[in-house]
A and B are shown apart, each in its own frame.
Chain A
C-alpha cells in the first residue's frame, strides 16, 4: 500500500501544493496588504513590495483592548461551560432515567440552532431585563451556545469509564461532589481539554452574539472591531489587514499546538452529536 509509483507521487505532490496554496491564499493576501502603506495600496503585488510594519503597530493600538475583551469573554465562558457541563454530562452518561433521551435530543437541537434565529427575540428579552451591553449577559449566552458541544464530548468520554469507579468511591465514603472532583475530573483531563479548547475558540471567534448584545466600543470583542474596520466608509485596507492578522494569532496558535485535541473534538464531539 505504501509503495507509490513515480507518477502517483507526482500527482500527490501536485495536489498537496494546490490544496495548501488554496488554504494559504487569503491569509497570504492579507499579509501583503498589511505590509503596504496606504498611499501604495492600489499597487498590484504578487509578493510584498513593502515592509510597512507601522501598520501593525497602528492596528495593535486600535485593537489590543478588544483582544483582551475577547480573551475575557472566552475564558469566562470556558470556565462556566465546563463547570455546568461536567456534572450534567456525567449523569447523562451514567444513569438511565426518564427524559434522558429527551434531554439528549434537546441538546442536539441547541447544537444545531444557529444564533441568528434566536438573537432577535433574545435581544428584546435582554432589553427588558436590562442585560444589553452587560459583560455577564454576553458570557451567559456564550455559555448557553457552547454547552451542548461540551456535554456531548464529555458524555462520549464518561460513557467509557467503568461504573466500578463510582462504586469503589462510594465504598470509600466519597460524596457525589467528591466523586466528581477527586475521581472523575483527574482522569477526564483529555476530554475536558477537548471541550474547553473548542469553547474557547468558538467564543473568541463569535461575532453575531456581540453584534446584537453589546453597545459600547470599550466592551467589544475583536471580531466586532474588525467588522467596524471592514464596513467603514473610508476603508483602511492596510489597517484592516493588519488587525485581521493580529486577531487570528490566538486561535491559530491553539489549533497548531493542540492539533491532536482538535481532531479528537471534531470527530468525537461534533459528529456524534
Chain B
C-alpha cells in the first residue's frame, strides 16, 4: 500500500514539475500601472509596451489605468488585497509604506551599473530611504518647484517682468508691490485639506533655511531650530499678500487664477505648465506667464524642493520581467515620450533635442534638478508617510490662517511629527 502511495506521489510530483517547467518557458505575464489621465498615459505607454513585447516575445504586458487621486486613495487596499500591478509608478517617500514595503523588489541585481549611472547623483540622493539597503526604486520624473508669475500683473504693478524675484527678500517685495499696486494678491499659497501641497510649500522654505530635509532618517524633525524658525517667520511675512482663504485652494485651483491674472505669482512644479500652454500655446516664453528658478535664501546653498515618481517592481516571481520593462521604460526615447505626454521636465540632457523641450522654461526645471541640492517628500523612512502630511498640515494651516505664530507653529509641528513617529515604535 505504502509503495503505491509513494508511486502516486512521485508521479504527481514529476507531472507537476513538468507542468511548471513548461510554464517557465512560456510567456511571463505582468501588469503595469502609471496612474494619471488615461488618455495621456495611453498615448505614450501603449506604443512603448507594444515595442517592448515585440522585443521580448516571452513577456506579455497588460496596462492598467487609474487616476492619481484614485490611486492615492486605493494603493493601500490594492497592495493589501494582493491585487497590485507588477510594475508601478511609485513615490520616493513610500518605500517604507507599511502597505507596500514587503512587496517591493530589490532591483540592484536585475539592472546594471551603467543603467543606474544615467541618473544624476543629486536625484539618487533625493530618493534613497536610509533605512533600506539596495535599489528598490528607479526615479523617472523629477519635478522641482519653480516660480511661475504673470508678466502682465508684474507690469501693472510697476515691476520688471523680465526680472522676477531671485531671493526671499525680493519675493516678499514683489508680493507686497503687486498686492498694493495691482490690486490682486501677490502670491498664491495652496493650503487645501487632505492634500500634500501645503506641507511641500512650507517644506521648501524650511529646506532652504536649514539646508536639510524636513525629517531625518529616524523620522524625527530637523527643523526645530533657529533656521527653521526663520523659514516660518518668512512665510508669516508673506501672509498679508496671499489670496483670501488659502485653505480653499490647491495647486490646481491656483493655476487658472495665475493664468487669468488674478494673482501675481505661484510656486509650482512642471505639472503647472500644461494649464498655461492650454491657454497660451506651447511657447510660454512668449506668453504672459513667466517661469523662473525658485527664489533662494540670501546666504547659503541653492536648495529646491523636488518630488519624484519612479518605477518599482512588486513581485519576486515576475521580478526579472518587471526589471526588463523598467529598463525599457527608462530608455531615452521612451522616457522622453513619457515626459512629453505628461508635462514632466527632462531628466536626460538628450531630451532637449526634442522640439517640444526647446523652450527656456524647461531649462529652469532641468537646471534645478541637475545642479541644486534637492530635498523632497517626507516620511520616506516611516511605515506611515501619509500620517506626517496629515499631522503637519493641521499646524501649517493654522500658520497660514494666522492662528499660530511662527514660534508656536514650529513647536507644534515638531510635536506633531514626533508623535507620529512615536506611534510607530
Contact = CB atoms under 8 A, between A and B. Distances in A.
A204 interface: no
A230 B77 CA distance: 20
Given A41-B256, A235-B252, A130 B82 contact: yes
Given A133-B77, A216-B64, A232-B252, A224 B70 contact: yes
Contacts of B82: 130
A160 interface: no
Interface in B249-265: 250-253, 255-257, 260, 262
B62 to A, nearest CB: 11
Given A123-B77, A132-B83, A212-B77, A220 B70 contact: yes
A72 B70 CA distance: 21
Which of B70, B195, B253 neighbours the largest number of chain A CB atoms within 10 Å of its CB?
B70
B77 A233 contact: no
Interface residues of B, number: 33
A211 B252 contact: no
B110 interface: no
A212 B194 CA distance: 17
B15 interface: no
A234 interface: yes
A230 B67 CA distance: 11
B275 interface: yes
A215 B260 CA distance: 38
Nearest to A38: B278
A191 B4 CA distance: 64
Contacts of A213: 77
A230 to B, nearest CB: 8
A215 B253 contact: no
A61 to B, nearest CB: 9
Interface string B65-88: 111111001100110111100000
B13 interface: no
A231 interface: yes
A170 to B, nearest CB: 50
B65 A231 contact: no
B159 to A, nearest CB: 23
A215 B76 CA distance: 9
Nearest to A224: B70
Contact of A233 (B78, B83, B195): B195
Contact of B83 (A42, A133, A225, A230): A133
Contacts, number: 81
A2 interface: no
Given A42-B262, A211-B73, A232 B68 contact: yes
A141 to B, nearest CB: 14
A57 interface: no
B124 interface: no
B7 interface: no
B80 A132 contact: yes
Contacts of A220: 70
Contacts of A229: 67, 69
A228 B67 contact: yes
A39 interface: yes
B70 A132 contact: no
B8 interface: no
A130 B82 CA distance: 8
A214 B76 CA distance: 11
A132 to B, nearest CB: 3
Contacts of A29: none
Nearest to B80: A127
B262 A217 contact: no
A233 B194 contact: no
A55 B275 CA distance: 17
A231 to B, nearest CB: 4
Interface string B148-175: 0000000000000000000000000000
Contacts of A227: 69-70, 73
A217 B65 contact: yes
A84 B278 CA distance: 54
Nearest to B85: A216
A215 B250 contact: no
B271 interface: yes
A218 to B, nearest CB: 8
A146 B168 CA distance: 58
B81 A233 contact: no
Contacts of B67: 217, 228-229, 232
Nearest to A216: B83
Interface in A158-184: none
Given A215-B77, A215-B78, A233 B279 contact: no
19 contacts: A41-B256, A42-B256, A42-B260, A126-B81, A127-B80, A132-B81, A215-B74, A215-B83, A216-B83, A217-B66, A218-B65, A224-B70, A230-B69, A232-B67, A233-B250, A233-B251, A233-B252, A234-B251, A234-B255
Interface of A: 38-39, 41-42, 62, 123, 126-127, 130, 132-133, 211-218, 220, 224-225, 227-235
Given A42-B257, A216-B66, A233-B252, 20 more contacts: A38-B278, A42-B260, A42-B262, A127-B80, A132-B80, A132-B81, A133-B83, A214-B74, A215-B74, A217-B65, A220-B70, A224-B70, A225-B70, A228-B67, A229-B67, A231-B194, A232-B68, A232-B69, A233-B68, A233-B197
